[in-house]
A and B are shown apart, each in its own frame.
Chain A
Amino acid sequence: MSFDLLDLPEPDRPPVDPEEYLRALMRWHFSVETGSPFWLRRAQSLDFDPIHDVRTFGDLRRFPNVVDEFRAVPVEDLVPRGLTGADRVIAGVYESGGTTGLPKRFVMFDRWMEFALGWDESHYAALGTANVLLVGPSGPHMFGEFARRRARRHDGMLFAVDLDPRWIKKLLERGDAAESERYVEHVVDQAAHILSTQTVGILITTPPLLERLTRRNDLVETIRKDVRYLCWSGAHLDADTREIFQTEIFPGIPLKGLYGSTTILGMSRERDVERADGLAAFDPPSPYIVFRVVDPETGEDVAFGERGQVVMNHLTKYALIPNNLERDHAMSIEPPAGWFGCSVADVGPVATFGDTTVIEGVY
């Protein structure tokens, strides 16, 4: 049995039929020869047979959300047995933010990571050689490794200032706003030193940290002079703030977002066409990563233009993470023609998630 259509896309190969792809993917993850120990074990307690019963994108909803099990499962068990050779090269083990409880662990494969990194490659096409500054989480998060690979693609150096989002959340949870202020100032000081002594062409950070940087007029001047691309990710950016960044603070410098999650091992890219409402819109790489937006009460998909809670699916031979209800709320928007699921805009936090209050800090 051939699994060729599970290979990541290449320039001169015709695109796959999404449903055919999905059926092959079920065979891959639920066959003894190719599936991961985790899924082969987990299949025994499913009340359906994925190979026979999952024929369409809609059928994926039969899967339970298993990501909570990723808090404790040994990561070796997440590796599909069918992966060999270059497919089997591991880029790293990354953890979710830990916003809603203990972190979950995911295995990132090198080939997939290169594909995920390239999803918004067109945005960087004209930049040429550039150094990259990451002001954001490295550590157990995938953000830092993506920045390192971004620098490599531009023949540039990576400067990285780490930010520990879990520590900030702890400070905010216990109401220590003053200490979190000091911590963030400490991060900004480090970024300021790099910006003022080095030439940074690509700045990757979160909207709250970008806002922090802009409180210092000298940094705004330096960024305007040197930085040719601003990449934001990891938090909400409202239309008004986005417009002020674009038109007043950094006119002429592309400001593009990535919306993703460790639980999908990748990101959706910001759409190039501006919306009338000023919101950033995000397209995931269907059929490898697919979004739905659901009514949190009923679990049913909301109509395009409506808000709801984001459900993410990672559907590759490297991992199967179906039907994962994320913490974010977003507006569902029409995806490009022929794509599974939906695209999203106006991504923001939910007030509460289960029993844990979600705190949106600087991450």
Chain B
Amino acid sequence: MSTPVQAAVADQNAEQTGADVQIDALGPDGPYRSRRRAPLSALSGAPVGEISQVPALYVRRTLAAMRAAPVLPIAARLDALDRAAELFATATIGGFDLDGYLQLVSTASGVPRAVVSVGVEWITDVLRSQRHTMALARPNGAVDAWRDERTVAGSAVWTRRGDLFAVHAAGNTPAVHGLWPEALALGYKVVVRPSSREPYTAFRLVEALRQAGFPPATVTLLPTDHDVADILIHESDFAIVYGGQDVVDKYGAVPTVLTQGPGRSKILVTADVDWREKIDIIADSVSHLGGTACTCTTAVLVEGDPEPLAAALAERLGRVPSLSPEHPDAILTVQPVAAARAVDSYLHQVAGDARALLGGDSIVDELPGGGAVLRPAVHLVDAARAPQLGVELPFPCVWVGPWSPADGVAPLRDTLVLTAMTTRADLIDALLDEPSITNLYLGDHPTTWLRPGVPHDGYLAEHLMRTKGMIRSDVPRSTSEPVPPTD
């Protein structure tokens, strides 16, 4: 907090050399550059810069300062979110204009430029939609503020369950930053621990929000190691944590932690639907965002013989070109070669008796400029309950298997998004009743379909807000010093 530093990454040459990027903490008193920093590097191994690693003491003092900070009134929050959308999408932030930022993220993290671009649009939409989303998420019986006339006759008031919301972000796609702005809209103060692989989007977004009017103590960025990140998660009122099954296992039982683990999204095609007409939607569901999102399809279950569909899918996905992440047409994620080989080796291990139709030899395609593309893989399994159907990997990797009405809903459980290509209303009823299917799309909608206002894992407000009953006789008069308006 005491280190005087300019806003990070301000070096004029940063875009050319890329080696001077500094991701500072954005604390309650401004940017903070800790002495302990971790290197940031590009896929090629070339240095990009450094990211601060703030100590536990800094984290706790930041949380205390955030708790002490007043909540921004609702109107100011929503206006600031609108302005932040504009800044995030267009402004030069930390020395990077939009183009420079897209370039930085793709070269440094290997997320294709086009995927980053889609992520930026999504986050911008989310920021702009908060008025609308809040209205949709609020229970019908509740009003936003106690001053609402309806409380005179008695009604529910929508109130926060807590004050501080922590985000333990991931770097697989910038789109992970599309959920937490809802917490800011609701009046939570938000502390973000960025991914150390791709901290640039979190930095850009937090900085945009602050420039747009959120006081520094209401939204902060705290780059830390994993041990210190645990403090953030445990000492905030609520947290959202991105990660693999290990993260789900670690925090799954903690009621204040919302885990964003493997999505295991699936597509079901029943016999009354001709899959040939849907193959593009199915292929897109697998490869959209480079296969790195939890909404990307991991398994396709087909009533009847799954092989023709699997073969067609392999043919479509096999055509996706291997390109460097900066290429405008690239959609496949690039990782350091060693990391890509590790994914490939894991795929071989888990594939077991599944038959590979694509990617069976290797999914690793090394690029001349450094790093390796993770190429799509399509495998065929022989049963609706094959364990491979639940294996989600961070690239377009899909398992295709048979399904029959006798298998029922069981093979479709534990699914973030299920696209059901079916006309059977009783099956749709059963799928909607299944608690472990989070979202159900019907017909011609890819599992990756999203729109602000339509919940992704419920509305965040379901976790962060509650209703309180209220009845009042008259409007209390203000004293000489008016109480700051609550929301």
Contact = CB atoms under 8 A, between A and B. Distances in A.
Partners in one complex: yes
A363 to B, nearest CB: 16
B161 interface: no
A73 interface: no
Q: Is the interface of A mostly helix, strand, loop or mixed?
A: helix
Given A211-B60, A215-B60, A244 B1 contact: yes
Given A239-B36, A244-B57, A277-B35, A215 B64 contact: yes
A76 interface: no
Interface string B10-39: 000000000000000000000000111000
A243 interface: yes
A333 B14 CA distance: 35
Contact of B57 (A241, A277, A278): A241
B170 interface: no
A47 interface: no
A319 to B, nearest CB: 37
Contact of A238 (B55, B61, B64): B55
B57 A211 contact: yes
Contacts of B36: 238-240
A4 interface: no
B251 interface: no
A248 interface: yes
Contact of A243 (B2, B56, B60, B64): B2
A239 B37 CA distance: 12
A248 B1 contact: yes
Nearest to B34: A240
A2 interface: no
Interface string B349-362: 00000000000000
Contacts of A356: none
Interface in A244-267: 244-245, 247-248
B58 interface: yes
B54 interface: yes
Residue from A211, A214, A215, A244 with most neighbouring chain B CB atoms (10 Å)? A244
Interface string A215-253: 100000000000000000000001111011101100000
B56 A211 contact: yes
Contacts of A214: 57
A247 B54 CA distance: 16
Nearest to A177: B234
B35 A244 contact: no
Contacts of B34: 240
B463 to A, nearest CB: 22
A244 B56 contact: no
A96 B34 CA distance: 34
A296 B57 CA distance: 30
Contacts of A240: 34-36, 54-55, 57-58
Nearest to B36: A240
Nearest to A245: B57
A185 B61 CA distance: 18
Given A215-B64, A278-B35, A248 B2 contact: yes
A50 B304 CA distance: 85
Interface string A97-133: 0000000000000000000000000000000000000
Contacts of B61: 244, 248
Nearest to A238: B55
A-side interface size class: 10 to 19
Contacts of B56: 211, 241
A244 B64 contact: no
A32 B57 CA distance: 54
Nearest to A215: B60
A278 B1 CA distance: 15
A294 B54 CA distance: 29
A244 B60 contact: no
A240 B2 CA distance: 10
A354 to B, nearest CB: 22
Interface in A189-217: 211, 214-215
Interface string B307-327: 000000000000000000000
Contacts of B60: 211, 215
Contacts of A245: 57
Interface in B185-241: none
Interface string A304-343: 0000000000000000000000000000000000000000
Interface string B34-55: 1110000000000000000011
Interface string A255-290: 000000000000000000000011000000000000
Nearest to A214: B57
B57 A247 contact: no
A241 B55 contact: yes
A241 B1 CA distance: 11
Nearest to B3: A243
B176 to A, nearest CB: 27
A23 B464 CA distance: 72
Interface string B62-78: 00100000000000000
B2 A247 contact: yes
Interface string B366-401: 000000000000000000000000000000000000
A245 B61 CA distance: 11
A238 B57 CA distance: 10
A239 B58 CA distance: 12
A241 B231 CA distance: 15
Nearest to B1: A248
Nearest to A244: B57
Residue from B36, B55, B60, B64 with most neighbouring chain A CB atoms (10 Å)? B55
A249 B35 CA distance: 18
Contacts of B35: 238-240, 243, 277-278
Nearest to B54: A240
A152 B57 CA distance: 33
A240 B1 CA distance: 10
A30 B18 CA distance: 63
A278 B35 CA distance: 8
A318 to B, nearest CB: 38
Contacts of B58: 240-241, 244
Nearest to A211: B57
Interface in A3-61: none
A175 to B, nearest CB: 12
B213 to A, nearest CB: 27
Nearest to B29: A248
Contacts of A247: 2
A363 B244 CA distance: 33
Nearest to B230: A177
A211 B58 CA distance: 10
22 contacts: A211-B57, A211-B60, A215-B60, A238-B35, A238-B55, A239-B35, A239-B36, A240-B35, A240-B36, A240-B54, A240-B55, A241-B55, A241-B57, A243-B2, A244-B1, A244-B55, A244-B57, A244-B61, A245-B57, A248-B61, A277-B35, A278-B35
Given A239-B36, A240-B34, A240-B36, 5 more contacts: A211-B57, A240-B35, A244-B2, A245-B57, A247-B2
Interface of B: 1-2, 34-36, 54-58, 60-61, 64
Interface of A: 211, 214-215, 238-241, 243-245, 247-248, 277-278
Instruction: Give 8 nearest A-B pairs by CB, closest first.
Output: A241-B55, A240-B34, A239-B35, A240-B55, A241-B57, A247-B2, A240-B35, A278-B35
